[in-house]
Amino acid sequence: MKRIAVMTSGGDSPGMNAAIRAVVRTGLEYGVEVYGIRQGYSGMLAGDFNLLTSVEVSGILQRGGTILQTARNDEFKTPAGQKKGLRRLNEQGIEGLVVIGGDGSLRGALALHKLGLPVIGVPGSIDNDIDGTNTSIGVDSALNTIVESLDRIRDTASSHTRAFVIEVMGRNCGYLAIISSILGGAEIVSTPEREMSMEEIATSLADAYVRGKSHAIAVIAEGVSYETNDLVNFLKQKTDVGFDIRVTILGHLQRGGSPSAFDRLLATRMGVKALESLRAGESGMMVALNDRDMTTIPIEQAIKKTKEINPSYYELARILSR
């Protein structure tokens, strides 16, 4: 294998650049040219490919986002779009592909594998929703950002005897919400997997008030069935909650920022493993962290279902919010 391509796709996550760098530098080690595809599958369909040299990936290890940029593309979801993508890759003499992204991007990677192109996926998503790997690139950095935000909010909340509703990301998965609620000392957490009703949230905040707490925090995952602003309006009408209510939607600040030490190491190891797996003749596989080892698992297995949250975390959150 003499020429491969690497791309980032779907939602960006901190550490994607470290993974790109690792793919390119490992390519140099083995005499494999690495082309960067810009803007995910959109760039693939447009034939937007450029050779990545060592210098081009220099100074990006600590940078959030992705130097290759990312995109969402509906055409690539169609069989015709996928064949067009393969044609563009063939035109450039690309013999293998590394796709760094979330479950949607991995589905695209699997489609190309089924068309005969050697493809390796790398899990990159802050949500920690990709199954078969302990974690994905960006999860740790996003958690650190959320926990730091919760700490800051608690400072102002306790100064005013206020309760805050904090919405965190996670379209289908409450991992960021449950873990940040434990690490940020929240009173209650509501996730798509274990949704708390508005009434239950009100009761929990009212309990904290009666117990004499100077603040209370409810962490709400973006993917729950009600709108955060509807919850806030509900809580404001409940006079027995005691606290003055405020809301913060953390939004996309959770996705940006410099990757943590953990994510830099994870992304570096995953990028190296992706190139090595391609060279070893693997395809249709995703790089996965399994305990301490970097392994590969079939993409088909990784995308079959959303990664489940360890149920013990809910118990931990409940006990520690007393």
How many Cβ atoms are within 10 Å of 97's Cβ, its own excluded? 26
Distance from C-alpha of 67 to C-alpha of 159, rounded to nearest angstrom = 41
Measured from each CB, the residue nearest to ligand F6P is 171
**Which of the choices ligand ADP, ligand F6P, none does residue 255 contact, using the CB cut-off of 5 to 8 A by kind?**
ligand F6P
Q: Cβ of residue 116: shortest distance to ligand ADP, in angstroms?
A: 16
Bridge-based pairing of strands 3-9 and 96-101 is: parallel
Q: Give, rounded to a whole angstrom, the gap between the first and last alpha carbons of the chain.
A: 58
Q: Cβ of residue 281: shortest distance to ligand ADP, in angstroms?
A: 24
Of the residues 127, 129, 140, 263, only one is catalytic, namely 127
- Could you list the beta-strand ranges (E) of the chain: 3-9, 33-37, 49-51, 96-101, 119-123, 162-168, 188-190, 216-221, 244-249, 285-290, 293-298
Which positions lie near ligand ADP, rule CB under 6 A? 9-11, 41, 72-73, 76-77, 101-105, 107-108, 111, 125
Q: Cβ of residue 111: shortest distance to ligand ADP, in angstroms?
A: 5
- Looking at the Cβ atoms of 33 and 103, the one nearer to ligand ADP is 103
CA distances from 128 to 7, 193, 249, 279, 303 (A): 20, 14, 19, 28, 12
Q: Cβ of residue 128: shortest distance to ligand F6P, in angstroms?
A: 10
Distance from C-alpha of 124 to C-alpha of 10, rounded to nearest angstrom = 9
**Which of the choices ligand ADP, ligand F6P, none does residue 126 contact, using the CB cut-off of 5 to 8 A by kind?**
ligand F6P
- Looking at the Cβ atoms of 171 and 211, the one nearer to ligand F6P is 171
**Which of the choices ligand F6P, ligand ADP, none does residue 9 contact, using the CB cut-off of 5 to 8 A by kind?**
ligand ADP
- Looking at the Cβ atoms of 133 and 204, the one nearer to ligand ADP is 133
Tokens of 279: 């060279």
**Which of the choices ligand F6P, ligand ADP, none does residue 222 contact, using the CB cut-off of 5 to 8 A by kind?**
ligand F6P
Which positions lie near ligand F6P, rule CB under 6 A? 11, 102, 125-127, 169-171, 222, 255
CA 21-121-27 angle, to 5 degrees, is: 35
- Looking at the Cβ atoms of 38 and 255, the one nearer to ligand F6P is 255
SS (H, E, C) 91-138: HCCCCEEEEEECHHHHHHHHHHHHCCCCEEEEEECCCCCCCCCCCCEC
Q: Cβ of residue 233: shortest distance to ligand ADP, in angstroms?
A: 31
**Which of the choices ligand ADP, ligand F6P, none does residue 85 contact, using the CB cut-off of 5 to 8 A by kind?**
none
**Which of the choices ligand F6P, ligand ADP, none does residue 66 contact, using the CB cut-off of 5 to 8 A by kind?**
none
Q: Cβ of residue 322: shortest distance to ligand ADP, in angstroms?
A: 37
The residues, any chain, with a CB within 8 Å of residue 263's CB and separated by 6 or more, are 14, 15, 18, 137, 138, 139, 140, 141
- Looking at the Cβ atoms of 102 and 259, the one nearer to ligand F6P is 102
- Looking at the Cβ atoms of 10 and 27, the one nearer to ligand F6P is 10
**Which of the choices ligand F6P, ligand ADP, none does residue 96 contact, using the CB cut-off of 5 to 8 A by kind?**
none
- Looking at the Cβ atoms of 77 and 84, the one nearer to ligand F6P is 77
DSSP category for residue 172 = S
In the annotation, is 127 catalytic? yes
The residues, any chain, with a CB within 8 Å of residue 13's CB and separated by 6 or more, are 124, 125, 126, 136, 137, 138, 139, 141, 142, 255
Distance from C-alpha of 26 to C-alpha of 6, rounded to nearest angstrom = 12
Q: Cβ of residue 170: shortest distance to ligand F6P, in angstroms?
A: 5
Distance from C-alpha of 286 to C-alpha of 163, rounded to nearest angstrom = 42
Active site residues: 127
